[in-house]
Amino acid sequence: MEDTSEECENTASSVAFENLKTNVTDIMLILIVENVTGLSNDAFQVEVLRDFDVAVVTFLTHVDAVTFVNDCPRHHSVKQLQLSPRLLEVTKTIRVENLPPGVDDYNLKCLFENPQNGGGRIASIECLPEENSALIEFFDKKGNIYEPDFVNLPHMI
């Protein structure tokens, strides 16, 4: 299922499992992803968002996420747990929340443009101090808006 083509670089590499029941654990999801893809658990990350009854699988290698989403419903555990896999949309803008007082455009730009953090070139930053948040929009290497790789980005600022 691994796809190393150039076309894959522009394809979503995250999948949401919706309709997540409370009895479904992250370990169960890891086993499902391993069984469907044949990948080991160091090739992807699973994040369970209980407040939304969703889990997000982020592939750390180039995986054909469309094929994964199409193959999942045929897997007996996905059927039994009544999970609904879907591709996550590629995002151009992120919202950063719970910012400490005094954080400004420059601080955010330094953090989110740092390639060591998985960031990329920033198109714009809109600080929302009354909400302790900011909206950050990104460019790709060609000047187009794109989704940066946030896998290595620190979760706390």
Is position 1 within any domain?
A: no
Question: Could you tell me how far CA 40 lies from the centroid of its own chain?
Answer: 18
Q: How many CB atoms lie within 10 A of CB 100?
A: 9
Is position 77 within any domain?
A: yes
Asked if residue 79 and residue 20 are part of one domain, the reply reads yes
CATH classification at residue 21: 3.30.70.330
Asked if residue 83 and residue 10 are part of one domain, the reply reads yes
Query: From first to last of its 157 residues, what are the pLDDT tens digits of the chain?
Result: 544 444 444 445 889 999 999 999 999 999 999 999 999 989 999 999 998 999 999 988 878 888 999 999 999 999 999 999 999 877 788 899 999 988 999 999 999 888 777 778 899 999 999 999 999 998 865 555 555 555 444 444 4
What SS3 state is found at 153? coil
Domain range for 115 is 91-157
Asked if residue 104 and residue 81 are part of one domain, the reply reads no
Total number of domains in the chain: 2
Tell me how many degrees the CA angle 157-60-143 measures, rounded to the nearest 5.
70
Asked if residue 100 and residue 115 are part of one domain, the reply reads yes
